[in-house]
Structure 1
Amino acid sequence: MLFGRAAIYFDEVAKRGALRRAADVLHIAPSAVDRQIILLEEELGTKLFERTATGMRMTAAGELLIDGVRRWRRDLVRIRSEIDNLVGLRRGHVTIGMVEGASEFVASAVAHFQERYPAIRFRMDVFGAQGVIDQVLRGDIDVGVTFNPPDNPSIRLDRTMIYRLGFLVQPGHPLAQRKDVSLAECATYPLVIPGENLSLRRVLDTAWAKHVGGVPRAVAEVNSIGVIKALARRGVGIGCLTALDAISEIEAGTLIFLPVSDERVDLSTLSIVSAAGRTLSVPASLMIQHLAYMMEDHGVPVV
């Protein structure tokens, strides 16, 4: 019974924290979920949840069991995918977590991937840079695409792309014909800069203090890459981002990217990450290979 219906119900209750919420996800009656949990507790001889007025809270035994159940569910998905692959179905499901700045890169990669493997389905979620790492470590996503990942033996860096800080300007802007631009020159124009929640802000602040002095004074400080691009397109200011953040706009000619010319400005990295030691499904492995290929084809240094 352990690795069957009861385990699936147990996992959902652990995720949702309440019988009714788990039952809604499973599309069954709460009493049916509760019955399976009770049978599982009887089989193991211990309580897995404390039933409180606000919901279900896992006991120490429940915490131990949940790791095994989730490993089993991941392995089952992977094995099913590999069996499908053996018979040539190429079906499967891939979960990807990414930072907002990688959304265009990932969208382009998925579009090309779907042309070759149209039966594979995706779930894609956007997190902060550390949030992607946390999701990979918890096993909630197969593949992560994140900025400047930490040195962590539990994380496997499958491929890393190195890119430069720069500014986005309108095609008619006085700087638009330049190949690059210094930070001191940028200081003479209205600036639209990343908010402190975006990892690029730290790179900008460090470079600004070194080459201009103080902190950048911006007409707008924005916590969304999409809004920074929108403001730059409308001429509110020059937008501090990277070429990676504006692939579509640069290709369409609606924005021009100018890399910063100052020396010793910290480089940033975008990495494809997965959990070290975890066996991935065939579709997830294929997706990592495809993302790596797209990085190599991007025209910037890759390691």
Structure 2
Amino acid sequence: MKHLRTLSYVAEIARSGSIRRAAEVLHITPSALTRHVQDLEYELGTPIFERIAQGMRLNAAGELLVRHIRDQVADLERVRSQIADLSGVRRGHVALAGSQAFVNQVLPEEVELYRARFPQVTFTVQVRDHAQAVAALTAFEADLALVLQPPPSADLQVLFACRQPVCAMMRAGHPLARQPGPVRLRDCLAHALALPDRSLALRHHLDRALARAGAQRPAMESGSLEFLRGLVLREDVLSFQVPSGIPDDPRLHARPIDGRDLDTMTMILGQLRGRMLPVAAAKFADQLASSLNRRYGAGDHASGHSQ
């Protein structure tokens, strides 16, 4: 454990970029932290940091060491969780990365359900879009990611996947809310649009279809889906969202975009490929996958995780 503490010091220096900033976070003196690094470099027989004007930067040996550190920390958390599980008390921590479409309703409901059974399990939920969520997995900042259309990645192991239509979201009194069924994209363009910005996977999915339909500059763009929902409730603007991102609010109305105009999007629950999850995270993944299957049904593919 003592050796692992020194490795955690190295990881913090790499994150902070300097001895001084890392020492502040770790609550030790810079000189003591420097000695830990020097002792480790002596033991390894090679420097692990480049000393630069701005601070400290990992060299190639340091990069290898930090990857090892992340593996060790993740493995220790898994073992701690398994040891606690032997006593019949489910403890541990679950770190989630989720697209905005899932943090309003889906993830809060699932976390509440899990903690009702295992109240000693703690959670961290990061709002991350498609590429950023996969990066959080590879950096061991998240155990699980629930995202829309993440980019292809050999690092991503899919635990569950399904398809969701993109819906035009409007307030209940909007003119298009009076008609049932799917709506054509050209009919949406007759109204002011409030679009997610290009930091979100949803916008990238929409852009080509909007360009084909001859869309003009939107009335509003935002990286916050919560802001867009709030705007929809106040003005006769249209926005777009998948069903899981539309709260159960009688003031809101949603109509799926006609499949001739826009394809469905893929929802994926995934983990880092090859990583053995801590018990708490693995059990939560099972619960979440089962719940998503009940809510939305499996789409192109779905697979369980191996523990």
- Normalised by the length of structure 1, the TM-score is 0.91
Aligned 8 A contact 1:205 1:215 in 2: no
Q: Which structure 2 segments of 5+ residues have no match?
A: 302-307
**Identity percentage of aligned residues:** 31
1:260-283 deviation per Cα after TM superposition (whole angstroms, max 9, x unaligned): 234262110111111111111001
Paired residue type of 1:137: T
| Paired residue secondary structure (1:139) | coil
Aligned 8 A contact 1:205 1:216 in 2: no
2:22 is aligned with 1:22: yes
Bigger mean CA offset, 163-172 vs 147-156 = 147-156
Q: Separation in 1 of the partners of 2:151 and 2:295?
A: 23
2:304 maps to none
| Paired residue secondary structure (2:113) | helix
1:208-227 deviation per Cα after TM superposition (whole angstroms, max 9, x unaligned): 345xx323443222222111
Q: Separation in 1 of the partners of 2:220 and 2:69?
A: 47
1:72 maps to 72
Q: Separation in 2 of the partners of 1:263 and 1:172?
A: 26
Q: Separation in 2 of the partners of 1:242 and 1:62?
A: 42
2:140 is aligned with 1:139: yes
2:263 maps to 266
Check 1:284–1:188 CA distance in 2 against 1; reply closer, same or farther (3 A cut). same
2:193 maps to 191
1:257 maps to 254
2:242 is aligned with 1:242: yes
1:10 maps to 10
Match for residue 293 of structure 1 among 290, 293, 298 = 290
1:88-142 deviation per Cα after TM superposition (whole angstroms, max 9, x unaligned): 2211011111222221222221121111111111111122311111221232211
- What RMSD over aligned residues (CA atoms) do the two structures have, in Å? 2.0
Check 1:196–1:12 CA distance in 2 against 1; reply closer, same or farther (3 A cut). closer
Aligned residue-pair number: 298
Check 1:260–1:18 CA distance in 2 against 1; reply closer, same or farther (3 A cut). same
- Normalised by the length of structure 2, the TM-score is 0.90
Aligned 8 A contact 1:207 1:266 in 2: no
2:160 is aligned with 1:159: yes
Q: Which structure 1 segments of 5+ residues have no match?
A: none
